[in-house]
Structure 1
Amino acid sequence: MTGLGIAQAVPPLAARATAIGGSPVREILAVTARPEVINFAGGLPAPELFDAEGIAAAFRDVLAHEPERALQYSTTEGEPVLRAALAERTTARGLPTDADDVLVTTGSQQALSLLATALVEPGDTVLVESPCYLAALQAFAFAGARVVAVPVDADGGGIDPDALDELVTRERPKLLYTVPTFQNPTGRTMAGERRAAVASVAARRGVWIVEDDPYGELRFEGERVPWIASYDGAQDRTVLLGSFSKVMAPGLRLGWLRAPAALLRACAVAKQAADLHTPTVNQLAAARYLADRDLDAHVARVAGVYRERRDAMLAGIADALPAGSTWTRPEGGMFLWARLPESYDTTALLRGVVEQGVAYVPGAPFYAGEPDPATLRLCFVTQTPDEIGEGLRRLAKGLR
């Protein structure tokens, strides 16, 4: 990145960092470490559901049988055995994929940074959903991008394809970023017909789609919706991102991207400059886990617990929020999005809520354009149903 690019990127990034790290929102970070605080603010998987035994066994096996390989440098693209396993899982879910189509990344967050490096020059336009995953906004801002929000029809299931077509024609963006399944922060899922329409726009206008799918396997109900990347016209224009953070363990820092060959090569060059490669031992342990354990069965157990916790939050949310509030009913994932009446400002209210021993994330920082100050995000997966009930009672008291 040029010096000009950094200069352009820092002001919006600093402003957004202030929004999520300054008083009173900064207090989230201070209170979440206190055991008496019920934390709906984080986006952390429930640690008691990690398959610690299975993961430890995978590491032991790798270190016992191939320590020289596990502790050595690896290729930038990733360990072949893990790339092959990821390609097999992706193919089984309806998107034919070869190992050479996959780049292993140090968490899917790195994939976003690599794509920003490969595709975005300072001043380029990037389109995002409104609201949008906060760390994606940060990655694109740091690359010097001009980030523009695409209108979203929540009732229709996501991005408005007509508005997208108009924006692509007018703004000439480098890419569209979307989390179409159980989106962070809203929990909503883009309907299949909307995905097809978005794929059609990308094919017709020649814009890249970055399809981020960290939560898609955590489905509680309803039918799986195919990836945008699998729709006609999108295969050569879509980068699919995945992660083990929500289905295995975030501490492994294992993600991946599936991309057409030329873009994958560009991302590999960017990754080589960033960290050479993702830790070899983690990659081999994950591949061993996939070979020896039933990850799908584990994910199904986790999703069953998460469904109970979502249901507990839905059961108590009406009593916790002011009259006239609305909220989403996610079919999976980790998050519920709420909107209070227009007179409310969830950032200003946070201090009083924190004093009651509960925390949420105000919605304003998730917007690329004009924020909605009455919105907030609640994570429902980290606490038990009883803790969620108590947390909602505290939330009601704090909002009053």
Structure 2
Amino acid sequence: MPPRVSQSTSAHELAALIGPVEALPGPRYAGLARRVRELVTGGTLPPGSRLPAERELAAALGASRVTVASAYRRLRDDGFAVTRHGSGTVTELPRAGAGWGPPTTDPTVLDLGHAAPEAAAQLLPAYEQALARLPAHAAQHGYASTGLPELRAAIAERFTARGLPTDADQVVVTAGTGDATAVVLDALLQPGDRVLVEHPTYPGAIGLVTAAGGRCVPAPVDAADPDALVESVHLVARQSNPRLAFLMPDFSNPTGARLSAAGRRRLGATLWQQGVLTVADEVTAELHLDDGPLPPFAAGLPDAATVTVGGLSKAVWGGLRIGWLRTDAALAGRLGAALNRRQLSVGVLDQLAATTVIRQLDAVLEQRRETLRQRRAVLLEELARRLPDWSAPCPGGGLSVWCRLPPGSSSAALAAAAAPRGLVLAEGSLFGTGEAFDDHLRLPFTLPPEQLRAAVGLLAQVDTELRERPSGAGRPARAATVV
């Protein structure tokens, strides 16, 4: 459904934003359409903006009405505008699907929509050990309400070794990092509460906030200057009075931005002083590929200032549904009680395997980092060779590259056109709170090298076809969901 009309843009205002029509590249109507698309994807013309009448814009630009009409037709064909009775032509963003689905299990599909590596080599031996220890637990009821004591102790020891002294009673075991985040939001948010989030941010976090009745308040992230987030968060927190903040201090998804040691200290202190509880997602914190480790975000802050969430999905395997949250003991007890109202326990066998894996996590991470370095190099090399006009900054860690597309390109259009080819993409607007970032695409480097090469090859073909498609050829077919 087209967005509700939120504002009108006069012909002279839009002409000023477009600039001299003679300077637009390519056929004049196509260049005009590309320029309007840039304004939409950049947020200057947000979805729901009413465009001026064709005749008025043509006069303001000094162009023919045919040129403007053809440009508007191109915008409609590509999904960036819709004509509505009584409202004229209104901007919108194309959508590749109604939601962000789970990773596909189809082996014929190349999935660049999800950052999910295969299992670490240590996983199967850990389950073998877990099976050997299971009989001792099978004689009991099998419920571990906040986690097996030995697993909570192992997690606490890991935090302590990283510079954040932790006791086992400060830890609650959950069914993954997302489950830990959901527990915090469900327990602490009231309908209408604001949650400060990085912008862009992980789509799952946006969905969890919305499901809990909260409202996301964005603070811009600049991967080239990660510590600029400190000032933007300070301003946003003062203006919006959020209840919580959801942040990824290390290799933020999708930008790959990483706060410095000084930056995270300043940001943590700023939020604590303003009475904002920070949920710090550390699922990729130890996937540093270039520089070394940094202190946990919560280090040096009162335990009650932060809830740190993490898990094993990225370092070990997505199928090992073990996550955790860490905070002060009193809040951990409250959050553990909230978890118990939803589920009595996480699977004991998984917890036993996770205990073994966590105690050898340094070896797991060393191998994982080396694999990711190699795959990151393959992805960046292929992008430079096949899509040289894309901007693909090299992230210092994490699992993906946040690409900026050339002017006029649309990640939503790419995702919709790639799906029938067996290539799954996650359009950039999924990572924003207001349909921004259609001019970006997140590309994980978690697939094996040969699959990465094949995926980028398909992506380059789709990109070329979209650029060469004539006006009026029709917008890409929309997929039902991104899977």
| TM-score normalised per structure 2 | 0.72
The offset of 1:65, in angstroms, is 4.1
- Name the CA shift for 1:330/1:252 in 2 (closer, same or farther; >3 Å): same
* Alpha-carbon distance in 1 for matches of 2:178, 2:131: 27
- Name the CA shift for 1:102/1:32 in 2 (closer, same or farther; >3 Å): closer
How large is the RMSD of aligned CA atoms in angstroms? 2.3
- CA deviation map 1:209-231 (0-9, x unaligned): 1100111222222121222101x
Q: Which residue of the other structure, out of 343, 348, 367, is the alignment partner of 2:408? A: 343
In the alignment, does 2:290 pair up with 1:221?
yes
Asked whether the 8 Å contact 1:188–1:328 carries over to 2, the reply is: no
* Alpha-carbon distance in 2 for matches of 1:29, 1:266: 31
Aligned residue for 1:193?
A: 262
Asked whether the 8 Å contact 1:353–1:397 carries over to 2, the reply is: no
Q: Which residue of the other structure, out of 346, 356, 361, is the alignment partner of 2:426? A: 361
- CA deviation map 1:188-218 (0-9, x unaligned): 2222232122112123212111100111222
The offset of 1:107, in angstroms, is 1.0
Asked whether the 8 Å contact 2:113–2:425 carries over to 1, the reply is: yes
For the residue of structure 2 that corresponds to 1:153, the secondary structure is coil
Asked whether the 8 Å contact 2:431–2:437 carries over to 1, the reply is: no
- Name the CA shift for 1:365/1:392 in 2 (closer, same or farther; >3 Å): same
In the alignment, does 2:439 pair up with 1:374?
yes
- Name the CA shift for 1:197/1:143 in 2 (closer, same or farther; >3 Å): same
The offset of 1:183, in angstroms, is 1.8
Aligned residue for 2:367?
A: 301
The offset of 1:104, in angstroms, is 0.7
Q: Percent of aligned pairs with the same residue?
A: 32
Rg: which structure is higher?
A: 2
Aligned residue for 2:396?
A: 331
Q: Which residue of the other structure, out of 237, 247, 253, is the alignment partner of 1:168? A: 237
| Larger helix fraction of residues | 1
Task: Return the letter of the residue paired with 1:125.
Answer: R
Which segments of 5 or more consecutive residues in structure 1 lack a partner in the other structure? 1-21
In the alignment, does 2:127 pair up with 1:56?
yes
Aligned residue for 1:88?
A: 157
Task: Return the letter of the residue paired with 1:197.
Answer: R
In the alignment, does 2:142 pair up with 1:78?
no
- Name the CA shift for 1:235/1:155 in 2 (closer, same or farther; >3 Å): farther
* Alpha-carbon distance in 1 for matches of 2:320, 2:102: 25
Where do 1:221-300 residues align within 5 Å?
Answer: 221-230=290-299, 232-233=300-301, 235-290=303-358, 294-300=360-366
For the residue of structure 2 that corresponds to 1:256, the secondary structure is strand
* Alpha-carbon distance in 1 for matches of 2:163, 2:251: 19
* Alpha-carbon distance in 2 for matches of 1:79, 1:30: 28
The offset of 1:29, in angstroms, is 6.2
Count of aligned pairs between the two proteins:
371
Asked whether the 8 Å contact 1:140–1:147 carries over to 2, the reply is: yes
* Alpha-carbon distance in 2 for matches of 1:306, 1:121: 40
* Alpha-carbon distance in 2 for matches of 1:384, 1:68: 42
* Alpha-carbon distance in 1 for matches of 2:353, 2:237: 42
- Name the CA shift for 1:32/1:104 in 2 (closer, same or farther; >3 Å): closer
Which segments of 5 or more consecutive residues in structure 2 lack a partner in the other structure? 1-93, 465-483
The offset of 1:245, in angstroms, is 1.6
Task: Return the letter of the residue paired with 2:372.
Answer: Y
For the residue of structure 1 that corresponds to 2:139, the secondary structure is helix
* Alpha-carbon distance in 1 for matches of 2:103, 2:159: 39
Aligned residue for 1:35?
A: 107
- Name the CA shift for 1:316/1:81 in 2 (closer, same or farther; >3 Å): same
Task: Return the letter of the residue paired with 1:193.
Answer: A
* Alpha-carbon distance in 1 for matches of 2:314, 2:124: 17
* Alpha-carbon distance in 2 for matches of 1:32, 1:119: 33
* Alpha-carbon distance in 2 for matches of 1:87, 1:30: 31
